[in-house]
Chain A
Amino acid sequence: MQPTELIIALRNKDKKAFEEIYKLYADNVYGIVFNILRNEDVSEEVTQDVFLKIWEKIDSYTEKKGRFFTWVLNIARNAAIDKTRSKGYKKSGGNLSTENFVDILEDKTNFNAKVDSIGIKKFINGLEPLCKKVIDLLFFKGYTQKEASEELEIPLGTIKTRNRICIDKLKKVLAV
């Protein structure tokens, strides 16, 4: 859902609305950021920066540009990617290119009331390896279709439909 009322209030620098926005998107932002950075402290720091940006840049958001959810996650991805390029950044363990969101989901116990963790786990278990990679690159890492097709060595024209099929499965598992 577009939080239209909250966006309007946020433009008027309403802090209550901002807190609501935080409650709605904090887990999404952190989820995206942590998937890229793989360091809890740094991810927390970047999550703070993302919300400060949302507060400051809310006037630059228009519905024509896309969904508010998309706008927020774009800020999160860009902030996290900027962080990976910054001096002194070192993710704790692992190799970024071989990791995807799946191992995070497999590791964790449920923190978030809004998430159907059993559903997610079911989804992961039933998901094709290629689906995991496509969703990870396009959604979590912000790759373009072209970049994803090169990375996964599958034709550019099939990326969009492949991704559609993967998300469709997830949708059904979560009964959205």
Chain B
Amino acid sequence: MDIKEYIESGILELYIYGSLSAKENEEVYEMLQKHPEILVEVEKIEATLDQLSAASTTKELSKLYDTIAAKIEANEQVPVRTLARKRSNLPAYIGWAASIALLVGLLSQINKNNKLREEIVSTQIKNQVLEGEISVKEENLKSAENLLSILRNKDIIEVPLNAQAVDPSAYATVYWDKEKDLAYIDVQGLPAPPPGKVYQVWSLKLQPLTPTSLGILEAYKENKNKVFTVENTNDSEAFGITLEPEGGSESPTLEMLYTLGAVES
């Protein structure tokens, strides 16, 4: 490229004006780097425009600098404070530490809370079981009290039944309520019947010996008091309990007579 022609084109004046595009500016910049004579021309143009623009000033401006410097000082107050804040990260660290501590605390509280909930649930289950047990016991107590009140009735006839040859340790008691035609058989003293066998209660007339079945003691295991209630409309003279095959027998199997007792007259 002809340097002189380039200078004569007038592009350098526009370059100093600032009226070229960014791309054109870069092109001129490259030319300046390569060709010192172009740089010389640029500096001449700049010096001319420097004078021209400075000559358009209508005021003495040296005092204005103090105002500008003061404004910069004022603006710097903000960044300085920011720096001071940055320098000390302690509040931030404390903040983070506090947050972490709080988080750990919360997690442990949640953990504790869960454990407590579990404990509450298991306690509730235990309570329910205990309540169940209590209600069973209350029921048992009621039936026992009921039984006691029956046995204490003065009209009840108590008939102790004594052990026989089969089992010398066996004993039982019959409480007979003649008014109500009921007999309460207390078999606490009898061994539990072997599988396939049941106890059967007999009302006896002695002269001649006539047994009448009062019934078998069903659900023997389930009856906790081991006091069974049977109907007795007979004019009984004695009571006996035999061990019979399941379902009971027509007449007592005397070899299996466990207890026997006569009614006092």
Whether A64 lies near B57 (C-beta < 8 A) is no
Of residues 1 through 58 on chain B, the ones whose CB sits less than 8 Å from some CB of chain A are 8-11, 13-20, 22, 25-26, 29, 42-58
Query: How far apart sit A67 and B25, CA to CA, in the bound complex (Å)?
Result: 9
B60 contacts partner chain A, Cβ-Cβ < 8 Å = yes
Query: How far apart sit A139 and B45, CA to CA, in the bound complex (Å)?
Result: 12
Chain B nearest CB: distance from A112 CB in Å? 5
Chain B nearest CB: distance from A119 CB in Å? 8
Which of B43, B48, B56, B72 lies in contact with A167, CB distance below 8 A? B48
B65 contacts partner chain A, Cβ-Cβ < 8 Å = yes
Query: How far apart sit A86 and B69, CA to CA, in the bound complex (Å)?
Result: 25
Whether A139 lies near B51 (C-beta < 8 A) is no
Which of A73, A119, A135, A160 lies in contact with B11, CB distance below 8 A? A160
Chain A nearest CB: distance from B87 CB in Å? 18
> By CB atoms of chain A within 10 A, which of B8, B18, B44, B57 has the most?
B57
User: What's the tally of chain A residues with a CB closer than 8 Å to chain B?
Assistant: 64
Whether B15 lies near A66 (C-beta < 8 A) is yes
Q: Which residues of B contact A74 (CB under 8 A)?
A: 18
Chain A 123-149: CB-based contact to B (< 8 A → 1; otherwise 0) = 000000000000100111011110000
Given A138-B17, A167-B48, 5 other A-B contacts at CB below 8 A? A108-B57, A111-B60, A139-B52, A167-B13, A174-B47
Report the 9 A-B pairs with minimum CB-CB distance, sorted nearest first: A164-B10, A31-B56, A27-B54, A160-B10, A31-B53, A28-B53, A27-B57, A70-B18, A115-B55
Interface residues of B (CB under 8 A from A): 8-11, 13-20, 22, 25-26, 29, 42-62, 64-65, 67-69, 71-72, 75
Q: What are 5 pairs between A and B in contact, CB < 8 Å?
A: A40-B58, A48-B67, A105-B56, A112-B55, A160-B9
